[in-house]
A and B are shown apart, each in its own frame.
Chain A
Amino acid sequence: MIKKDDIYKLAELAKLSIHEDELEVYEEKLNRAIESLEKIKEVNTDNVEITYNVNQMKNPLREDIVRESLSQNEVLKNTVEEQYGYFKILKVMD
């Protein structure tokens, strides 16, 4: 069971803020969702391998050669604030 305090903790981890008014709704929704997942615990998975990907994957390696990439201008096109060709955020050090 998730309690209201747990929701604040989860929101903090996920960089979200949950308003007091919404708390009960999230508590109800999340507990219902978690409860619905419990059935999976009844499956016996001893000695079963994990599948992270359905196809057999290998890392495709290539020579470390400099290739054309996106320009600084293009990369900055969608940011709200930029300065001197950089993303502008708050000062984090004095």
Chain B
Amino acid sequence: MDIINLSGWEMREKLLNKEISSREIVKSHLDRIDKVEENINAFITIDKEKALKDADMVDEKIKNGENVGILAGIPIGIKDNIITKDFRTTAGSKMLENFTPIYDATVVKKVKENDGIILGKTNLDEFAMGGTTQSSYFGPTKNPLDETKIPGGSSGGSAAAIAAKEVALSLGSDTGGSIRIPASYCGIVGIKPTYGLVSRYGLISLSNSLDQIGVFGKDVRDAVLMLNAVSGHDSMDTTSINNDIKLDIESLVDSLKGMKIGLPKEYLDLEMDPKVKEEMDKAINILKDGGAIIEEVSLPNIKYANEAYNIIVCGDASSNMARFDGIRYGYRAADYETLDELYIKSRTEAFGDEVKKRILLGTYLLSGQRGDEYYKKAQKVRTLIINDFNDIFSKYDTIICPTATNLPFNLGGSRPSKYYNYNEAINLAGLCSISIPTSKGDGLSVGLQIIGDRFKESNIIKAALAYEGMVK
């Protein structure tokens, strides 16, 4: 038995049955890291000794007959914009190259309380600004399915680490597709939960009303396990909802009979890579065969989602990035004569091009009358997009579409402009969404996206489990 081929929940089962130890699980993944990591570059920081020590503690608990958490013994990667106490956290930026947080993000605390084993911090686009993981100060991550391709982003390291079998589970963050796109490109499952379901305390903010921490796993069951471990109300995050939804996976294994699924015509009108189109058509037929009722629906305002999103993200990013002043933490330039020079030199030397571009654009969009002209306008268009979704969810349980309309492109490149998607709309409306691979084994992966209403994770998980069962 090769441990790294097991899913996270299988590892946990075998651990509890005393077939394998936590040390064996962690050791096999660390060996795998030794073999592939130099090439894949999924991680920014790894702490092997700490991981083995944590594994021994779990083994000790099991030996003593103590209760262990739901992540017991499972090797986990944490996106490096989620802070970890006494463990370097860089957000993929030179700005935080030497930053060691003094407290844990709530989700990290929960992973530890549930006996998960954190192996390291995963690579991302600098401050999560991007969709390719190429803007990281620590170099790009390669797609384990095809090393000439990008893994997607911004949570590219978290997805690649699972696809390369370096960890079994991971955490990412999703502001406009940053979990779903890499899940799709790397052939794994990714969930962007409803805004407010998972605490964002300790997440380095990009855009406050859009950012959401979410999860990756090898299969739906794995992703749900991780989501259950980190979700729940947190008094340290005022946007977290006082509603402890936990998903009971066994009750969600069910037929799709009677599930009403909307298929937005705005997506069908998009240009798609022929393989994506083919996989999407197959997926629709599979879901229909499973008993789902699929009907065409319309989201008329979704065509403005990209514009509304870019305005809000850049506006928010420009003010969020203001905290990096070189004084309390982060990079400080060596030479400066005035306080202003300290700020300017530190920020100019430590931020990358994409970050600077977004700060300048956001500053432009928020200055003077433009705040009304752009930012407020975008937030009104957001209301219209939400209303469109509300209309559909009053009649349908879920919405499906491709996660990405294209396949991952070559490292060093950018997304061909003819391929467009509306993933940002899901964050604008605060909905939950899952990306699940349509097929495996023939090269690059295509992701099916299943979207649900706010706090209706149970609907998307039910559909995803049924679909996964039918394509296995």
Contact = CB atoms under 8 A, between A and B. Distances in A.
Interface of A: 2, 6-7, 10-11, 13-18, 26, 29-30, 33-34, 36-37, 39-41, 43, 45, 48-55, 57, 59-60, 70, 74-75, 77-81, 87, 89-90, 92
Contacts of A13: 363, 367
B307 interface: yes
Contact of A34 (B238, B326, B364): B364
B356 interface: yes
20 contacts: A13-B367, A26-B357, A26-B360, A30-B357, A39-B307, A40-B311, A40-B377, A40-B381, A43-B377, A43-B380, A53-B209, A54-B195, A54-B196, A54-B454, A55-B241, A57-B238, A75-B102, A75-B328, A89-B342, A92-B339
A16 B329 contact: no
B266 to A, nearest CB: 15
A52 B392 CA distance: 22
Contacts of A78: 98-100, 102, 328-330
The A contact surface, by secondary structure, is loop
B378 A40 contact: yes
B369 interface: no
B239 A55 contact: yes
A51 B365 CA distance: 18
Interface in B348-407: 348, 351, 356-357, 359-361, 363-365, 367, 373-374, 376-384, 386
Interface size class of B (residues with CB under 8 A): 35 or more
Nearest to A7: B360
A45 B380 contact: yes
A10 B364 contact: yes
Interface of B: 98-100, 102-103, 195-196, 209, 235, 238-239, 241, 301, 304, 307-308, 310-311, 318, 322, 325-330, 332, 336, 338-340, 342-345, 347-348, 351, 356-357, 359-361, 363-365, 367, 373-374, 376-384, 386, 429-430, 454
A11 B351 CA distance: 13
A81 to B, nearest CB: 8
Given A14-B359, A74-B102, 11 more contacts: A15-B322, A15-B344, A26-B360, A45-B380, A52-B209, A70-B103, A78-B98, A78-B330, A79-B327, A87-B327, A87-B328
A32 to B, nearest CB: 10
A58 to B, nearest CB: 9
